Amino acid sequence: MRVLRILGLVVISAVTGVLSGTAAEAAPTAAAIVAAEALPSGAVTGRAGPAPAPMAAPALTAPVVSRVAGTPCRSTARACIELSSNRAWLISNGIVQYGPVPITHGREGWRTPPGTFAVTFKSLNHRSSLFNDAPMPYSVFFNGGIAFHQGSLTQESHGCIHLSRTAARTFFTALNGGDVVQVVT
């Protein structure tokens, strides 16, 4: 009987912890186990006895994610790209740190896809393995072979985000592996 009460309390604690979103609440404490012993017979096990008082379910709240003022991107982004206006920004803690700066992006057949990505690696003096060993200085890769890098601001790319030399250096210095890059149309 005691084991069933404790097991029932563990299940209730786990469900409560899942609903509230905290792992700490999912594990029963010693005080909770002692409190289970004080419950009327059958309160947790479903056997005859008085039913426990109904509990209100904890409110589920999603984290607040707002847009960064002056950009089309969310506050969780570290870098923001707006394809329709050919602009990019660096963001820190929901505040624009740098930009907007002009960019060019993927041409027909090589469009830069919108979405949310993470920086995977950086390469100071990268050269393209697909396009005739073309130089890609200050490369910051965030979507497979797509990267921010120094490039032409008059010609569209093969999917990469071209930046001026100054902007490419700034993005290269500021961004690190795992940083969120948001690309919007």
Q: In this predicted model, what pLDDT tens digit does every residue of 128-137 receive, in sequence order?
A: 999 999 999 9
Residue type, 13: S
pLDDT at 61: 65
Please give the pLDDT value at position 57: 55
In terms of Cα–Cα distance, which of 63, 75, 61, 149 is closest to 116? 75
Q: Is the Cβ–Cβ distance between 90 and 168 less than 8 Å?
A: no
pLDDT at 65: 77
Domain boundaries, the chain: 1-61, 79-184
pLDDT in tens, 142-175: 999 999 999 999 999 999 999 999 999 999 999 9
Residue 60 is predicted with a pLDDT of 62
Kindly name the residue from 105, 149, 158, 162 that is annotated as catalytic.
149
pLDDT along the chain (185 residues), means of 10: 44 40 40 40 47 58 82 98 98 97 97 98 96 96 97 97 98 98 98
- Which amino acid is present at 135? P
Cα separation, 76 vs 118, whole angstroms:
11
The domain defined by 79-184 carries CATH number 2.40.440.10: yes
Catalytic status, residue 160: yes
Fill in the amino acid letter for 98.
Y
Catalytic residue among 73, 105, 126, 160: 160
Given a contact cutoff of 8 angstroms between Cβ atoms, the answer to whether 158 and 104 are in contact is no
pTM for the whole thing? 0.66
